[in-house]
Chain A
Amino acid sequence: MVTVEFLGPIGKEPVTLKADSLKEVARQLQQDPDIAKWLPQCAVAVNDTLVKDPDTPLKEGDRVSLLPPVCGG
């Protein structure tokens, strides 16, 4: 299982999913309209490292974070 956490304004509690790649996480998150609407604008970190490859493999216990649009300062 992997944990998916939703940062900042997304305002959702973390969920655990059975997934061995980010593509599989994407497939499952796209089923939830409340989350799907954020996906085009979210960056993704795995275990706190930003990733850019949807084929990134995941292993048991990994933590996936969704980072919506930012505005510091």
Chain B
Amino acid sequence: MLLIYDGPVEVPSLLAQWYDAERERNYGAMVTFVGTIRDEGGIEALSFDIYRPVLERWFEGWQKKLAEQNALLAMAHSRGDVPVHQSSFACAIFSPKRRVALEMLDAFVEDFKANAPIWKYDVIDGRRLYAADRSTPMEGSGLLSAKE
């Protein structure tokens, strides 16, 4: 399940919804991660662009990988502005036993940071500034920079 919110992710209701949907299905473990915007660097908010078609393919790859271990994945992310002390990202992995969910959540969030097609901007004095110094080139970058 992949959800995109315009603005902050509504974390309490979303986590409750994920919990209620899955606990009856005999998963023994639900591990969650929530990312919340910190007040630092004079920002009012962070802002996000998402390229959904490639995000969906990346997410489907992870769903398949988790299904091989009988685990299930849910994720939500914001598009547009998310003010300080609100959340822009939430994910959960459900598995029959805890070990798979704990380990795969770490791997999933690391790959999310490196390869999910999402761009972050600081919002300062109402201006949107690309967070270039915190961004990572995706796998396979530079394909079009080679000279003949």
> A residues near B, CB below 8 A?
7-9, 22-23, 25-27, 29-30, 36, 39-45, 48-54, 65-73
Q: Nearest chain-B residue to A39 (Cβ)?
A: B145
Q: Is the interface of B mostly helix, strand, loop or mixed?
A: mixed
From B109, B135, B140, B145, contact of A50 by CB (8 A)? B140
10 contacts between A and B (CB under 8 A): A8-B117, A9-B121, A30-B145, A44-B143, A54-B144, A69-B136, A71-B120, A72-B48, A73-B77, A73-B120
Q: Is the interface of A mostly helix, strand, loop or mixed?
A: mixed
| Cα of A73 to Cα of B50 in the assembled complex, Å | 11
**Which residues of chain A come closer than 8 Å to B25, judged between CB atoms?**
none
Q: How far is the CB of A9 from chain B (nearest CB, A)?
A: 4
Tell whether, in the assembled complex, residue B143 and residue A9 are in contact, meaning their CB atoms are under 8 Å apart: no
Interface size class of B (residues with CB under 8 A): 35 or more
Tell whether, in the assembled complex, residue A69 and residue B135 are in contact, meaning their CB atoms are under 8 Å apart: yes
**Which residues of chain B come closer than 8 Å to A70, judged between CB atoms?**
113-119, 135-136, 138
Q: Take A40-B142, A73-B35, A73-B89 as given contacts and tell me if A68 and B119 are in contact as well, using a CB distance cutoff of 8 Å.
A: yes
Q: Take A71-B120, A73-B35, A73-B89 as given contacts and tell me if A42 and B141 are in contact as well, using a CB distance cutoff of 8 Å.
A: yes
